[in-house]
Structure 1
Amino acid sequence: MRLPATLCFLYRRCPIALYQLDPLQVYFPPAQLALDSPNGLLAIGGDLTPDWLVKAYQNGIFPWFNLGEPILWWSPDPRGVILPAEVHPNKSLRKYLRKAEFSYSVNQAFSQVIQNCATLRQKTDGTWITEEMIQAYIQLHQQGYAHSIEVWQSQKLVGGLYGINIGRLFCGESMFHIVSNASKAAFCCLGQLCRQLEIELIDCQMVNPHLETLGVYQMPREQFLARLPELTQKALDKDAWKARELSNEP
């Protein structure tokens, strides 16, 4: 197997050495070789086809780049994760959710969810969910890897999230809300569904203040990568992510 060559690439005005990926050969260098600064940046190039994306998630790697940039691949240290058993609404959120009269579904509006995630982020601080990324993840959805949780209010989509499921691992990608706490409701709903499906770990990639309020914590990358082979090789029932309404509130 031909290994990718290193490349000197100007990233945010800082020259750094990155692995240049051959788009004709689905291959990633070990995630442990990612840079310390910027944290987790591993490689450049490759492609966003389902083969590339599935290979990346199986190895603790994900794409993240802005419009006009080449494809960049990351594996940060530490990693933001949470156990499904630890995902629960706190008392005040639970009280709010009862009054909000939300309803929930899985995989009934994947394209709408990812489009909303892209649109709302674009209005605030720009988005890495480019049209190229949207189409790539819709393909993953069609192949049974990418899934969405939807939050509805009066039959209107008001929040949701999407991510990738491989084996007993769920990799969260993005969430949105247009009504207060709807994204938190989607995350709590995800935790409940993951418990039902016996998914063992939710990968949130990197921790931010919003995710910290949901209980997401940091796991050393070495520990995260060590768990991947076991998690990704455990198959779920073929109907686990069947599109349907979810009857119980989180």
Structure 2
Amino acid sequence: MALFLIMEPNDPYALKLTPEMLLSAYAHGIFPMAESANSNDLFWVDPDERGILPLDGFHISRSLKKKMRQESFEVRVDTNFLSVISACAAERPDSQETWINDEIIELYHALFRAGHCHTVEVWSQGNLVGGLYGISLGGAFFGESMFHKVRDASKIALAHLVDRLVVGGFQLLDTQFITDHLRSLGAIEIPRAQYHAKLSQALQLDGDFYRLDGGGTSEFCLQSTSQIS
């Protein structure tokens, strides 16, 4: 994996990352990470093996389908970015250290206000219980992070995202890295060169993140009203 330092806070000549530079980086297949939530350094990351989730290969289990039918969850889009990214940045029960620092939050919030960053949020009884956020460019969506506070809430968010991307004409869902959780849902790894080829094709498209809200259908039974029951 290639790592390139973006900025060091004590270096007066260091390059300050901007939202525009961030979008350009995604279009070239690289993305930023912090060493930890408390670190002020950001790095460009360009993995040798890139994680993607083929939009026709998402695995939704029978038990999750049953849960989505029997339990009442409300799925909202782009209503509470700061709560979503803060939950993604919070310390995990397994003590896994987060890579989302204050600089990341500030940059992605700027992209959210500009319409390039999106959230999928799962709510239950008025509480945010799961969700994800990521970047949309052309026909590519770059998933950044997701969280859950109740069982399967992040899976429900991902199922809705996949459905939304399919309806909106997207071609690529980038997961950056692969975890056992993502692998169980259908994510795979591909070599860097293959990823860049797929990215180039996807960027030529004009994906519509909101087309589902206009009445698109869903193979995952997620209604255009964004209500699962």
Same fold, judged at TM 0.5 (above)? yes
Return the offset for 1:93: 1.4
Instruction: Tell me, in whole angstroms, the C-alpha distance in 2 between the residues paired with 1:208 and 1:123.
Output: 14
Provide the TM-score with structure 2 as the length reference: 0.84
Contact 2:172 2:199 in 1 (8 A): no
Correspondence for 1:224? 195
Deviates most, 199-208 or 40-49: 40-49
How many residue pairs match? The answer is 210
Contact 1:105 1:246 in 2 (8 A): no
Instruction: Tell me, in whole angstroms, the C-alpha distance in 1 between the residues paired with 2:16 and 2:28.
Output: 16
Instruction: Tell me, in whole angstroms, the C-alpha distance in 2 between the residues paired with 1:239 and 1:204.
Output: 20
Correspondence for 1:41? 3
Other structure's SS at 1:85 match: coil
Of 36, 40, 54, the residue aligned with 2:23 is 54
Other structure's SS at 2:34 match: coil
Tell me: CA distance 1:60–1:241, structure 2 relative to 1, closer, same or farther (3 Å): farther
Correspondence for 2:153? 182
Of 81, 85, 91, the residue aligned with 2:56 is 85
Of 75, 80, 83, the residue aligned with 1:112 is 83
5+ long unaligned stretches in structure 2 = 8-14, 214-223
Instruction: Tell me, in whole angstroms, the C-alpha distance in 1 between the residues paired with 2:21 and 2:212.
Output: 22
Contact 1:84 1:200 in 2 (8 A): yes
Return the offset for 1:233: 3.0
Larger Rg: 1
Contact 1:106 1:241 in 2 (8 A): no
Kindly report the root-mean-square deviation, in angstroms, between the aligned alpha carbons of the 2 structures.
Answer: 2.2
Deviates most, 116-125 or 50-59: 116-125
- Cα deviations by residue, 1:60-101 (Å, 9 ceiling, x for unpaired): 100112232522111101110012222241111111222331
5+ long unaligned stretches in structure 1 = 1-38
Other structure's SS at 1:162 match: strand
Contact 2:52 2:190 in 1 (8 A): yes
Instruction: Tell me, in whole angstroms, the C-alpha distance in 2 between the residues paired with 1:241 and 1:110.
Output: 20
Other structure's SS at 1:163 match: strand
Correspondence for 1:147? 118
